[in-house]
Structures are given as structure tokens and as C-alpha cells.
Amino acid sequence: MPRRKSRMTSFVLTVLFGPLGLIYSTVVGAVLLSVLAILTFPTIVGPIACWVFAIAVGDHATYKHNQDYEEWLTFVKPKI
């Protein structure tokens, strides 16, 4: 059964761990941004951009997950 995800937890994880913190929010996003950060490692700008982008992606993915969860709840729970 799915559960709500905390946007604060997503924020803290992505601030502390960058793209790897996205595993909480979106595994695919975590893998893609981690690979991109590794490939652009020789330029310091690439990993920093990936880190900042990971924060935004994590928040959006968590927000979208919670929206989908609320829709699922209204579908599954009968209205009284």
C-alpha cells in the first residue's frame, strides 16, 4: 500500500546527499542525475548544477507522488 512522502525529508536528503538523496523521491531521477554528475565531474559546474537540480526534482517528485496518493485514496476509500 502506498504512503505519503515527506517533502521535508526529501529536501534534507537531497541537500545532504545531492542526486543520491533522490532515491527517496524518484529512483530513476537519482540514477540519471548521479550518472550526469559523474560524467561532468571534470567540470565543477556540472556536479553543482546536478546537486541544485536534484533539490528541485526531489521536491517536485514528492509533491506529485502525494497528489497521486490523494487521488488513489479517494478512489479506494468509499464515500460515506
Domain residue extents for the chain: 7-76
Cα separations in angstroms, 49 against 2, 26, 32: 31, 18, 13
Averaged pLDDT score across all residues of the chain? 92
Q: At what angle do helices 45-76 and 27-39 cross, to 10 degrees?
A: 170
Gap between the Cα atoms of 19 and 3, Å rounded: 22
How do residues 1-16 score in pLDDT, each as one tens digit?
Answer: 678 999 999 999 999 9
pTM: 0.85
Check: CB of residue 25 under 8 Å from CB of residue 10: yes
